[in-house]
Structure 1
Amino acid sequence: MSPTEHPEAQDEGVRLSKRLAAQLGCSRAEAELYIESGAVQVDGITVQTPATRVRPQQAVSVKEGAKPEGAPPVTLLLHKPAGYTVRNPQGARGHTRGKVGNAYDLLVPENLADVDTPAPILVLQKHFKNLECLLPIPVPASGLMVFTQDHRVARKLQEEALYLEQECIVEVRGTIDEGGLERLCDGTSIDGKRLPRIKVSWQNETHLRFALKGIFPEEIAEMCECVGLEVIGMKRQRIGRISVAKLPEGQWRYAMPWERF
């Protein structure tokens, strides 16, 4: 008896994409598009993985009106907690070491925030593949992070990184040098290095608000150190016109088509 005739092999069934292609009379590639778009059910349960094995007695159906079209690229906005890095975006999840978490591990359907920004009708597994992280923040910092599949969004954030204003709230301790706030604002806080002028103001006795252009969040700690302050916490509130706003820490939401950085 050949392996294909063995009862156990028959019980394993065939790939869903192969079964659907035969059922619809379409190509395997088109069948995979139906499946990955969330339009296919097996025994009444939506299945989004083309390689899923189905047995002959299982019912395979396609949502009425569905077309074999690829899912549009998405951009995800994450409120990263402090202590999370961005690592291994194309590989397997869950391989960070020690106490440092991987921000990519937070991008799962269970962490979709219940906020007033609408979401697609169906959260697809495909939304979490091939995500590129733009404008990362230091591991000890929290706040807004951007992950996108959309090459237009990626290009904009890469090309305009120096011109987009980033707002950060920075917790500090120590006593600021005389004239230190002015040095932070006029770009002379780091000895021997000329930085662009930015907006820096006290929110209260321990927190500074930085509105940065041409300077990245990872430079803030050195800037503060040069005027007598130690950074003990940082949160990025905003990139351009998009804010972390009501997004809970550790959760994410979809960027809407009308939102612009």
Structure 2
Amino acid sequence: MPDDEPQGIRLQKVLAAAGVGSRRASEALIAAGRVEVDGKVVRTLGTRVDPARAVIKVDGSRITTAEAGLVYLALNKPTGVVSTMNDPEGRPDLTGYVLGRKERLFHVGRLDADTEGLILLTNDGELAHRLAHPSYEVLKTYVAEVPGPIAPSLGRQLRAGIDLDDGPVRVDGFRVVGRSGTRVMVEVILHEGRKHVVRRLLDAVGHPVKRLVRTHLGPVAMGELRPGNTRKLTPEEVAALYRDVGL
């Protein structure tokens, strides 16, 4: 019986195609009870699934399949580009980085035009919604260039919380990562998503931002991705995003 008949595709083939391991290794995972399909552990070799619809997890981490037609991209947004797929004012927007793709992609993680760095692009609507929703408190990491010197107590002050015009905000992490003359590079980690929050926060404590880059969104790192370039997320990165938002 062919693997691609309407009743589904053999689970071990789906796992192998998703990069979990060889078919033999995937069969061992199934036999060991480490694979779930739609919330139920599957131990029977040869079980057939619809990879476009089934929720498949290995050791509790969800995997994605090519058959599902889902796209996950990381973009290093340059300065001067607005975080929208269609800017009514005609400014450079995100559409220029997805030309030729047939899928309708959502952007995850807004950045103002003067801020560069990591934005995710995907057609996985539920994941995009959860990553953007404040209740899931997805961490975002930024590196900011500010005037120094930095007081040793600043990190403690930011973790305790700063009152802004629209309410208090506190960071989840803060450290100095570099110095050059009077310029200081600081890393700020927070789960807030309010407009210009990092700039407003640092300005409020006397360190106005000269340059701002988002380097991480949840478990995904921008790494060596150059401004204006995109890359596909790895299966491990997608699985980590699912874990962060409880999918």
TM bin (shorter chain) = 0.5 to 0.7
SS in 2 for 1:82: coil
Which secondary structure does the structure 2 equivalent of 1:203 belong to? strand
Letter in 2 for 1:236: R
How far the C-alpha of 1:204 sits from its partner, in A, is 2.2
Runs (5+) with no aligned partner, structure 1: 1-68, 110-124
Residue pair 1:84, 1:102 contacting (<8 A) in 2 also:
yes
Which of 75, 79, 98 lines up with 1:78 in the alignment?
75
- Identify the residue that residue 98 of structure 2 maps to in structure 1: 107
- Equivalence for 1:234: 212
Does residue 155 (structure 1) correspond to residue 116 (structure 2)? The answer is no
**1:203 equivalent in structure 2:** 177
Question: Which residue of 223, 226, 229 maps to 1:248?
Answer: 226
Relative distance call for 1:177 and 1:256 in structure 2 (3 A) is closer
- Quick check: 2:115–2:213 contact (8 Å CA) kept in 1? yes
- Is contact 1:85–1:102 with CA below 8 Å preserved after alignment? yes
Cα distance in structure 2, aligned partners of 1:207 and 1:148: 31
Query: What residue number does 2:35 align with?
Result: none
Note if contact 2:144-2:187 (Cα within 8 Å) is conserved in structure 1. Answer: yes
Partner residue, 1:47: none
Aligned match of 1:29:
none
* Distance (whole Å) between structure 2 residues aligned to residue 191 and residue 133 of structure 1: 27
Instruction: Classify 1:178/1:79 alpha carbon distance in 2 versus 1 (closer, same or farther; 3 Å).
Output: closer
Secondary structure at the counterpart of residue 85 of structure 1? coil
Gaps spanning 5+ residues in structure 2: where?
1-65, 242-247
- The Cα of 1:153 is off from its aligned counterpart by 1.9
Q: Where do 1:156-195 residues align within 5 Å?
A: 156-159=130-133, 162-173=136-147, 179-188=153-162, 190=164, 193-195=167-169
Distance 1:247 1:132 in 2: 20
Compare the two structures and name the one with the higher strand fraction: 2
**Matched residue type, 2:113:** V
Q: 2:136 and 2:148 mapped to 1: Cα distance?
A: 30
CA 1:216–1:198 in 2, change beyond 3 Å: closer, same or farther?
farther
Over aligned residue pairs, what C-alpha RMSD do you find?
Answer: 3.0
In 1: Cα distance, 2:110 partner to 2:201 partner = 18
Shift in CA distance, 193/151, structure 1 to aligned 2, threshold 3 Å: closer
Aligned length: 170
- Distance change in 2, residues 1:182/1:234 (3 Å): same
Q: Which structure's CA Rg is the greater one?
A: 1
* Map of 1:218 onto structure 2: 196
